[in-house]
Structures are given as C-alpha cells and as structure tokens.
Amino acid sequence: MALPRIATTDVLRSLEDLYPDAHCALIHRNAFELLVATILSAQCTDKRVNEVTPRLFVRYATPGQLADAAIEDVEQLIRECGLFKMKAKNIVGTSKIIVERYAGEVPSTMEDLVDLPGVGRKTANVVLSNAYGIPAIAVDTHVQRVANRLGLVASDDVLETERQLMRRIPRELWSQAHHWLIDHGRQVCAARSPRCEMCALAVHCRYFKAQARAIRKKTVGGGV
C-alpha cells in the first residue's frame, strides 16, 4: 500500500525538537519490572501504574517471587489499575513461564514475548525497545491517533500502522519516534480536542489541512 505523502523528515525533526527528552514514562529498574508495568498499563494511566508498582515490587521483587504469589494477594496490590483479576492472573502466569522456561530472565524476542500471558505485540515492543535497546515501534492509542492524523500512516489497524511507520521512519529512530508520538498525543494532539491552533506540526498535518479545507469550502459555499 502506498503511504500518504508527507514530509516525514520535517515531521520527525519537529517532533525531536519538541520532545528532546521523550522517554518511557513507566518507572522500572529492569526488564521484568517494565514487562509487569506494561501489562498493568492496559486501559490505565502510566501515572496510576507508577503509583502501584512500587508496593507490588516491594512484596514481590523477582519473577520467582511473583510466580509463587497467591493471585488474590496480587489482585489486592494492583486493584487500582483496573481489570485487576485478569492482570493478576497474567502477571503470575507470565512469571511462572519466565522462571520455568527462561531461567528467570525476560525473553528478548518478539516470538517468545507474545507467547507470555497478557503480552501482546505492543507490550513486547515496549520491552524490546526500552529494556533491550532493540529498535521497535509500539503502537498504543496515542501513536495510532497521532500518526494517522499527521498522515504518517493511513490505517485503522494497529499492526498495519506499525508496518507503515517502520517503512516510513528510519530504523534507528523507531524507538524514539514512538516516545515522540506519545508525548505529542498527551500534550497537544488530544483525542477529543486536538490543540491544532498551537501545534508546531500543523503545517505538515493531514488532519489539520483537511479541517482547514472543509472550513474554507463551508465559508465559500455559505456566500460569506
């Protein structure tokens, strides 16, 4: 599929200028903590996850300890993250597999990661890029929305969005681009009310240009 026409280099440069310190917002000290935090972040804010994980990791610091944990106890510790029953089951199940199959080390391939309970492609990409330094683009709700609005991609499907971004963006920038798009989505390009009037990317943005065209058409059509 042909990608939309957009000045990708200019967009990436602007994003880098806007968010030079963009980084993973989930607090973690190692790959295992990041994996657990990312599982917890489904339909939950990073801020809330960061409030919950310290007390979880004080009680259960390693995959071995979480593998032996009572699910009901984990449920209570992570309750505020929502979907806590399913997440507790997945975290304990994932910990068991990490201990039994990988000697307590979080695996570092997409294939092995997505085999773990509660781990999808997005979570796997977060772990690969942030814990192991392997270039990857995790497509979350912000990345999906902002990339489509800007015109970097044209797809409703997150896997296709990931593929199009990988074709569009140089490999060495994949991980950073993921953080840039998230920061822009959080700070400017909000889901309901994007702040286009103060957006440095408006000059490149497909959504903004379409909105401007629609307003012009309406104005001309209205005879004003």
Q: Is 19 in the site for ligand SF4 (CB under 6 A)?
A: no
CB of 169 to ligand SF4, least distance (A): 16
Nearest-10 crossing angle of helices 141-150, 158-168: 60
DSSP assignments along 51-115, one per residue? HHHHHHHHH--SHHHHHTS-HHHHHHHHGGGSSHHHHHHHHHHHHHHHHHHHTTPPP-SHHHHTT
Looking at residues 74 to 113 of the shown chain, list those that interact with ligand SF4 (rule: CB under 6 A): none
Looking at residues 129 to 168 of the shown chain, list those that interact with ligand SF4 (rule: CB under 6 A): 149-150
Nearer to ligand SF4, 1 or 203 (CB): 203
Give the total residue count for the chain. Answer: 224
CB of 194 to ligand SF4, least distance (A): 4
Look up 122 and say whether it is catalytic: yes
Residue from 163, 201, 213, 222 that binds ligand SF4 (CB under 6 A)? 201
Look up 140 and say whether it is catalytic: yes
Among 46, 73, 115, 122, the one annotated catalytic: 122
Size of the site for ligand SF4 (CB under 6 A): 13
Q: Which residues lie below 8 Å from residue 214, measured CB to CB, with a gap of 6+?
A: none
Which has the closest alpha carbon to 26: 15, 37, 40? 37
CA 202 remoteness from chain centre? 23
Catalytic residues: 122, 140
Residues contributing to the site for ligand SF4 (CB under 6 A): 149-150, 188-189, 194-196, 199, 201-202, 205, 207-208
